[in-house]
A and B are shown apart, each in its own frame.
Chain A
Amino acid sequence: MQYCGDFRTTYEKDVKIFQTPFIKICMGFLGVALLALPYLIKGEYLWIALQILIAVIGAVGLNILTGFTGQISLGQGAFLGVGAYTSAYLTAKMGLSFWVGVPAAGLVTAMAGMVFGIPSLRLKGLYLAIATLASQFILEWVFIRWEPVTGGSYGIAVPRPVIGNFTFESDGSYYYIVLAFTVAMTLFATNLIRTKTGRAFMAVRDHYISAEIMGISLYKYRLLSFGISSFYAGVAGALFGHALKFVSSEQFNIGVSIVYLAMIIIGGLGSIIGSIFGAVFMILLPKLLSVATTMISADFPSVTKMVMAFEQGIFGLIIVLFLIFEPDGLAHRWKLIKAYWKLYPFSY
């Protein structure tokens, strides 16, 4: 029980993930809602929910690298691809189980990420961004040209997971697997940033010279951050491949990397909850725009073509406006809303 103010008398209380009973109750309701979701929605909307869960994993991973360690990466799309192809190869071509394929995808992608993260010792900021952009192009080239493994321009058909005689063929059943991965990996990331490793990441981000003076190995933690971030990307990519039942090079282009970067910037850099908000926002926005433009075109058929053509423009405009008026991301707005209700009616 907490009274007026936010008293924490022990370190244990200070590091609790769910600070108050109210938050625990809210999280309980959220959990029930997430479990009930496949019974409430289906078809297109269930597919969007699946995409959001997968995007949360990828965004949390990228936030560990960019938000917490301060390393810009423009290669998240390609790392998703490494994961998707690894799991596809292991399950579709080698006949291994999904339960082997997905963790292996994470590990292989972590290794790939660490290889491409090696320049991070010498490069930072925009220079590192360009180096990671190179990884995007190199990996895309590998996806399309390494035909015996990736299927080349034809791609690979991927099976859905199986337990005993049950195949997770429907989106509804597969949703629960993805949900389990998302919850587990989000909780892991939340805990990670509260450990020595997480603090080291933030020290590297905030002032790398001070961090080094304090005895933090820049090379180790930068590389580790790349590894963990890529592991998340690998798992997300693998889950997406199994969701769509098909993996091809066109699914993991530079556009995907940019969308993921936009997710964490809009959601809030250096915030796990921000990654979740960003993933929800970026996946839902195109759909909401599509619904809005369809409604407008139904009422004004003559402007249909114009509205459809402007959809992409509106998408960009919303992101720009968001960055101008909410530069700290949705996580910051969430904090302000919470503070407002906590302090109401006294705003001090």
Chain B
Amino acid sequence: MKQTMRVVAMVAAMALFVTGAAFSAPAIKVGHLADLTGATGEVGKPYAQGVQDYKDWVNKNGGINGKQIDMPMFDYAYDKNKAVNQYKKYKEDGVVAIQGWGSGDTEALSATTGSDKIPYVSASYSAHLTDPKKAPYNFFCAADYSSALRAGLKYLKDNWKEKRAPKVVFIYPNVPYGIAPIKGGKEYAKEIGFEVLGDENVDLKAIEANSQLLSVKNKAADFAWVGGTTNSTAVILKDAKKLGLKTKFFCNIWGADESTPKLAGGAEEGTLVMAGSTLYGSKVPGMKQLMKITNNKPQVTHYIRGYVSMMVLTEALKIADKKGQLNGPGVKAALESLKNFDTGGLAANKITFTATDHRPFMTTNIMAFEKGKLVLKKTIDLPRKAEWLGL
């Protein structure tokens, strides 16, 4: 009797093992480098949360054609060395793609991901990452910094009423992130009839910018581009108000967000922001699901961009899986096959990548601070000019 029971138990265990193995498809490994506690943690955290929340939602709703996404987050605290170390680990683990974060890690790993053939979807929107000749495995899901600057200039020029040429200055930190869009932006400004006055450098960690803003005041600039991050932008806006500047400011995507009114204390009124996504709660088809996932708790635009970034990668994973090419080159090809991919209106436009052009779209949502809140003013759609690729 005992022996019979043993045999039955063994058969049952075998059956469980076999059926279990049959039902659980292997998980898809994806890397995720995030900055939660480093220099850019303030904006890195909501972005990373958006990425992870969308992944969790996919896993709960059938995964990638039945396969779960295995994507634990690694906080590299904006330390490039840590990011490269972790990247090597991801490579060893056999990830098919990586969700990355900032300029430092993206730039440092750009050549390596290219030769390792691992798609790297990040939040560094430097224009040269859109040129597949230079960065074949880099992707992102917002307008590049240069295109966003061009969109801002176009919006200002379109609304310029005076007969004289509008004067513009460029305020940015002397770091690659700050400098990246300046060349292309200046060329475009001259092309559409701006008078370019010159540059001012304000460090990302600046606690005052009086001398630079006095210079802007003396030049009588009508407009000033701010290519810093939230803290330095708040410093600039506060000092500009203190010095009584009449200059209108327009900021890069990381230059201002929903937290700016707190930091700038009212000095942000009227300032424009070149946003790459929609606002939380806006009436677009994709917002319903996003609000459900976030339990109706308002999120900053960075969260929405992280969410969109994972949405796009998920779509590529699905396509690559269907083709039986769930590997780096397969996911890259899938991303490059996306034509007018609809994010439910969460991104500024539908996303299209090609093998020769990794610009997702040329669209920027121009938002303005009005009574302490961001308000969408206009959506600018620029032509996909070949000469702007990578510049």
Contact = CB atoms under 8 A, between A and B. Distances in A.
Contacts of B322: none
Interface in A250-282: 250-251
A251 B88 contact: no
A289 to B, nearest CB: 10
B92 A154 contact: no
B190 to A, nearest CB: 19
B35 to A, nearest CB: 11
Contact of A245 (B36, B85, B91, B115): B115
B176 A286 contact: no
Contacts of A47: 84-85, 88
Contact of B180 (A48, A51, A154, A312): A154
A244 B108 contact: yes
Contact of A44 (B88, B103, B174, B177): B88
B89 A154 contact: no
A286 B84 CA distance: 13
Nearest to A147: B183
A327 interface: no
A153 B85 contact: no
A43 B89 contact: yes
A211 interface: no
B205 to A, nearest CB: 13
B89 A244 contact: no
B84 to A, nearest CB: 7
A44 B82 CA distance: 10
Identify the interface centre among A144, A245, A249, A286: most chain B CB within 10 Å of its CB: A245
Nearest to B109: A246
B343 interface: no
Interface in B140-193: 174-180
Secondary structure of the A contact surface, majority rule: helix
Interface residues of A, number: 32
A340 to B, nearest CB: 35
Interface in A132-188: 141, 144, 152-155, 157-158, 169, 171
Interface in B83-113: 84-86, 88-89, 91-93, 103-104, 107-112
Interface in A297-340: 305, 308-309, 311-312
A157 B179 CA distance: 18
B85 A144 contact: no
B128 interface: yes
B198 to A, nearest CB: 15
A174 to B, nearest CB: 12
Interface in A224-253: 244-246, 248-251
A141 B174 contact: yes
B107 A48 contact: no
Contacts of B134: 154, 157
A190 interface: no
B268 interface: no
B77 interface: yes
A232 to B, nearest CB: 20
B92 A308 contact: no
Contacts of A8: none
A246 B135 CA distance: 11
A135 to B, nearest CB: 17
Contact of B86 (A44, A153, A248, A308): A44
Given A43-B88, A250-B176, A312-B77, A290 B108 contact: no
A153 B115 CA distance: 21
A80 to B, nearest CB: 13
Given A43-B91, A154-B128, A250-B80, A308 B37 contact: yes
A155 B88 contact: no
Contacts of B115: 169, 245
A34 interface: no
Given A154-B126, A155-B176, A305-B36, 7 more contacts: A42-B92, A152-B179, A154-B180, A245-B111, A250-B104, A251-B80, A308-B75
11 contacts: A43-B89, A43-B91, A144-B174, A153-B176, A153-B178, A157-B110, A157-B111, A246-B111, A249-B175, A286-B82, A305-B37
For the complex of A and B, the 5 pairs showing the least CB-CB separation, nearest first, are A43-B92, A153-B176, A245-B111, A44-B89, A153-B179
